[in-house]
Chain A
Amino acid sequence: MSSPETPVSQTDSAPETAKSVSFNKRLDFRYAPPVLITLILLAGHLSFGILASYRTVILAVGTSMITELVLARLVVGKWRNLSSAYITGISVSILIRSPMFWPYALCAMISIATKYVLRYRGRHLWNPSNFGVSWMLFTAPFSVAGLSIQWGNNLWPMLIIWPLGLVIVWRARRFHVTFTYIVSFIVLSGLRSVITGASFLAEVAPLTGPMYQLFVLFMITDPVTTVSSRKGRILVAFLIALVEFVLRLNEFIYAPFYALFLVGPVAMMIELRRKKPATA
């Protein structure tokens, strides 16, 4: 989850963003997601204790920022703005659960390092925290689980988070991504209900939880790791929901993360292959 991820190099900038948003607005907007995610984190923890401890947040954010600083200096030769690393760190601290400390540091490092290594034609392919979280959930189940804490399972936190998040998404011109995914998820929940015999409400239940709120508001909308055309993004959002549908039929608990992990980079690669190679 890193929306909008700060690009590693100039070539990472989503062209549409660069064209359509003025410098001042971009500067202002760049700090909106970190501020929102911090507010969500603080509100969630102070009201519902969603964090295992503050130490894990400090560890994840600190590791994320240090990794970003070192790798940016080493690879790009510049000091980087750390808002993206900050979001990655916060996301890691929210989205994984472990009674140990090392998974938070490792996940943060993996997330940031992928931006500098797993690249194609000058762009990184995976949403950093999606890669890190998916990798940890898949390879370290003995120590790591996904976010299990709900935010009271009540309506009112959703009434705050959703409008705020949607404003951010709308400002990032990614509302259609979130909208497409939600509609697809709901429709496919109905289909799953028919196939599995489980109630529709049971199938749609995850969407009402905080993990999905973070997923649909921040992770799948990441400008840097989404394709550039509006139609393409709508298609990708639907495909993520579709792959998740298949994974869910096979009882993958972390289906949304894995779906984005699989679909996102493939979509990016296809788009980049169809474009001219980026100049260094």
Chain B
Amino acid sequence: MTDFSEKYQRPIKMLVAMFLAGLLTAPLIIQRYTASGTFSPGKDSREFALEHFGFYLENVALASGLEFTHQSPRLDPKLQHILPQIASMGASVSIVDFNRDGWSDIYVTDSRYGTQNALYRNESDGTFRDVAAAMGVADVNRQGTGVSMGAVWGDYDNDGYEDIFLYKWGKPELFHNDGGSGFTSVTEQSELPRWVNANTAIWLDYNSDGYLDIFMGGYYPAKFDLWNLNTTRIMPESFEYAQNGGRNYLFENQGDGTFRELAGQVGLTSTRWTLAAGAADLQQDGYPELFLANDFGVDEFYANDQGERFREVGNEVKTGFTPKSGMNVTFGDIANQGLFAIYVTNITEEGVLMQGNNLWMPRQGNASMTYSNIAGQRGVELGGWSYGAQFGDLNNDGAVDLYVANGFISARKGTSYWYDYSKVTGGNSAIISDARNWPDMRGRSQSGYQRNRVWLNDGTGRFQEVAGYVGGNAIFDSRAVALGDLWNRGVLDVVVANQNDRLLVYKNTVSRGHHWIGFRLEGTRSNRSAVGATVTLHWDGKTQSQIVSGGIGYCSQNQRRVQFGLGDSEQVEQAVIHWPSGNRQQISRPEAGKVHLVREPQ
């Protein structure tokens, strides 16, 4: 011991003890000063929200005639002890103008045998009417055919009307839109597989041939009919490294109303547990990349090699190494740079599982694009047990905001299945993969009663959680989120599909003086839906890009047209459109405050 230590031993020991005491109390202090205060009942008034955040969300589902309650599937009795966990999906929503009347309609799915899906036609008077039965797209959950998990719309035959692809735990189905007056099932001639347990599908034109193709991702392997099981070994083999899920499908549109399945030929061979898919030309080479959010494992980034082959490059671009529980993927130009960040939701449960959501921001290197996860820095990391998420400028201030759905199983309050869940998922594959080994849920909740998040972008790509103030912070087991201008007012409304619960339709009120502009694209050389086109808007010294999507997010599809907030600016310098065909179109000084119909130049 040195003289110094010896001489001052007592004060040094006291000092070190105080140091430790300070360290031990640090978590409590940090918690006190970092508590997010996401909900303040006294301040969630409309006026407060409009003044401080520029918008307010109000659920008007019932008043608008959108009375829909989702029902979860009932499955094989062998799964009864963990049924809430297995049957936790199927609530989906897509926004589409199926009859080309210029008003957005809504299609929602149900997931129990005998239930009916709903197609809410916009009556253009503020109300909606369910016309699914009359149109022939309601009775699709018949015994023996499986039940709906989601639907995406795309004009596969370029006749100007959006057709519907329905993916199920069962037989996928394709319905042709007969001029907006009805739908005809073309499932048989489309040569779709007999049975797929799918939880995601999107339209994309992967080879830019002018015809929309379909990607569909499997969740449970297709060999399992979840109502008639002869085994209980259906569960993921690992919580983080499972590769025993369903296979992928890529249905290439042959241009004659038929499709050819060639996932294996083009390199989409993985069998992970895919929950969401998104396509966009992230590498800016004219062909859409494919990003898959996978439950129980790493996400996958498939680079598109000139429309001929997909190559999984997750490790190369640094998005595909650390395994989490990917639930949703969506793209957004969060910092108005003309670059798309990739937002992937995962699971966060305090004290149990802190995966955090990912916000992958591209960085252009010398050789190639790589991504870094900046979710923590930008304030959008900790959601909950998150599912659907969508970017959209909710207050028309010129920066895209983020709505995130949360909540897994809201059963008996004050209970939790997490202990049993973590016990099994920590075990060997032989244990976890057999449903028999999973303890009985006995009516317990798991990450239930979680609030949805509304993250407001400050214009620089940093987000603030404001759901408690602006509305929209529902406490349901929310699944799918879709954004669209439901009442043609130049604002994005929010539709949330909840598992085993009612549909929420948030009508958005935006502060005066926040301007906007919209574009509805129609391809000619490109697919007519213009899926895959990118619109880049230049105004007031700002630049923002948006993608025309053929379905994005967990079991959801936003309105087809793209819509930009302009803040207090009423002047737009130009809009530049990159069509999937390779065409580049420039529109000078488009007028703000209206939706522009843009046809692709021949």
Please give the residue numbers on chain A whose beta carbons come within 8 Å of chain B beta carbons, in ascending order. 48-49, 51-53, 71, 73-78, 97-100, 102, 106, 109-110, 113-114, 116-118, 135-137, 139-146, 148-150, 152-155, 158, 196-199, 201-206, 208-209, 211, 251-253
Nearest Cβ in chain B — how far from A185, in angstroms? 13
Q: Is B367 an interface residue (CB 8 A)?
A: no
Most A CB atoms within 10 A — which of B323, B351, B382?
Answer: B351
**In the complex, what residues of B have CB within 8 A of residue A136's CB?**
27
Most A CB atoms within 10 A — which of B23, B24, B436?
Answer: B23
**In the complex, what residues of A have CB within 8 A of residue B375's CB?**
99
Q: Is B437 an interface residue (CB 8 A)?
A: yes
Nearest Cβ in chain B — how far from A213, in angstroms? 11
Q: Contact at B418–A135, with CB atoms within 8 Å? A: no
Q: Contact at B20–A253, with CB atoms within 8 Å? A: no
Q: Contact at B420–A77, with CB atoms within 8 Å? A: no
Q: Contact at A202–B431, with CB atoms within 8 Å? A: yes
**In the complex, what residues of B have CB within 8 A of residue A49's CB?**
298, 321-323
Q: Contact at A116–B16, with CB atoms within 8 Å? A: yes
Contact of A77 among B4, B28, B30 (CB under 8 A): B4
Please name the residue on chain A nearest to B17 by beta carbon: A117
**In the complex, what residues of A have CB within 8 A of residue B34's CB?**
142
Interface string of B410-431 (1 = CB under 8 A from A): 0000001011101111111101
**In the complex, what residues of B have CB within 8 A of residue A154's CB?**
238, 241, 428-429
**In the complex, what residues of B have CB within 8 A of residue A201's CB?**
427, 431, 437
Within 8 A of A (CB), among B345-377: 348-356, 375-376
In Å, the complex CA distance between A131 and B12 comes to: 22
Please name the residue on chain A nearest to B418 by beta carbon: A253
Nearest Cβ in chain A — how far from B159, in angstroms? 47
**In the complex, what residues of B have CB within 8 A of residue A51's CB?**
322
Q: Contact at B13–A153, with CB atoms within 8 Å? A: no
Apart from A99-B376, A100-B376, list 4 A-B contacts with CB within 8 A.
Answer: A142-B350, A202-B423, A205-B428, A208-B426
Q: Contact at B16–A139, with CB atoms within 8 Å? A: no
**In the complex, what residues of B have CB within 8 A of residue A48's CB?**
240-241, 323
Contact of A202 among B239, B350, B416, B420 (CB under 8 A): B420
In Å, the complex CA distance between A96 and B239 comes to: 17
Q: Contact at B1–A102, with CB atoms within 8 Å? A: no
**In the complex, what residues of A have CB within 8 A of residue B4's CB?**
77
Given contacts A76-B5, A144-B354, contact A113 B16 (CB under 8 A): yes
**In the complex, what residues of A have CB within 8 A of residue B239's CB?**
148, 150, 153
Q: Contact at A209–B27, with CB atoms within 8 Å? A: no
In Å, the complex CA distance between A199 and B16 comes to: 48
Contact of B382 among A77, A99, A106 (CB under 8 A): A99
**In the complex, what residues of B have CB within 8 A of residue A114's CB?**
20
In Å, the complex CA distance between A73 and B12 comes to: 11
10 interchain residue pairs of minimum CB distance: A205-B427, A141-B351, A77-B5, A77-B2, A140-B27, A251-B419, A99-B356, A153-B238, A209-B426, A77-B1
Given contacts A77-B5, A100-B376, A150-B426, contact A113 B438 (CB under 8 A): no
Nearest Cβ in chain B — how far from A249, in angstroms? 10
Given contacts A113-B19, A114-B20, A201-B431, contact A206 B353 (CB under 8 A): no
Q: Contact at B240–A149, with CB atoms within 8 Å? A: yes
**In the complex, what residues of B have CB within 8 A of residue A74's CB?**
5, 12, 15-16
Contact of A110 among B1, B24, B238, B321 (CB under 8 A): B24
**In the complex, what residues of A have CB within 8 A of residue B6's CB?**
77
Q: Contact at B240–A106, with CB atoms within 8 Å? A: no
Contact of B431 among A142, A208, A251 (CB under 8 A): A208
Given contacts A99-B381, A153-B429, A202-B439, contact A110 B420 (CB under 8 A): no
In Å, the complex CA distance between A58 and B162 comes to: 53
**In the complex, what residues of A have CB within 8 A of residue B420's CB?**
198, 202, 251
Contact of B23 among A109, A144, A150, A252 (CB under 8 A): A109
Within 8 A of A (CB), among B26-58: 26-28, 30-31, 34
In Å, the complex CA distance between A253 and B431 comes to: 18
In Å, the complex CA distance between A52 and B239 comes to: 16
Q: Is B570 an interface residue (CB 8 A)?
A: no
Q: Contact at B30–A143, with CB atoms within 8 Å? A: yes
**In the complex, what residues of A have CB within 8 A of residue B416's CB?**
251
In Å, the complex CA distance between A118 and B381 comes to: 36
A–B complex contacts, Cβ < 8 Å, 24 sampled: A48-B241, A49-B323, A51-B322, A74-B5, A75-B13, A77-B1, A77-B2, A99-B376, A110-B23, A110-B24, A118-B20, A141-B350, A142-B351, A143-B354, A148-B352, A152-B429, A154-B428, A198-B420, A202-B420, A204-B427, A205-B426, A205-B437, A208-B426, A211-B426
In Å, the complex CA distance between A201 and B426 comes to: 12
In Å, the complex CA distance between A49 and B431 comes to: 22
**In the complex, what residues of B have CB within 8 A of residue A73's CB?**
5
Q: Is B432 an interface residue (CB 8 A)?
A: yes
Q: Contact at A205–B432, with CB atoms within 8 Å? A: yes
Please name the residue on chain A nearest to B3 by beta carbon: A77
Q: Is B67 an interface residue (CB 8 A)?
A: no
In Å, the complex CA distance between A113 and B561 comes to: 59
In Å, the complex CA distance between A209 and B431 comes to: 11
In Å, the complex CA distance between A74 and B15 comes to: 10
Q: Contact at A140–B31, with CB atoms within 8 Å? A: yes
**In the complex, what residues of A have CB within 8 A of residue B321's CB?**
49
Given contacts A99-B356, A199-B436, contact A149 B428 (CB under 8 A): no
Q: Contact at A150–B5, with CB atoms within 8 Å? A: no
In Å, the complex CA distance between A133 and B382 comes to: 21
In Å, the complex CA distance between A196 and B28 comes to: 34
Q: Contact at B439–A139, with CB atoms within 8 Å? A: no
**In the complex, what residues of B have CB within 8 A of residue A203's CB?**
423
Q: Is B237 an interface residue (CB 8 A)?
A: yes
Contact of A117 among B20, B419, B440 (CB under 8 A): B20
Most B CB atoms within 10 A — which of A102, A196, A199?
Answer: A199
Nearest Cβ in chain B — how far from A94, in angstroms? 14
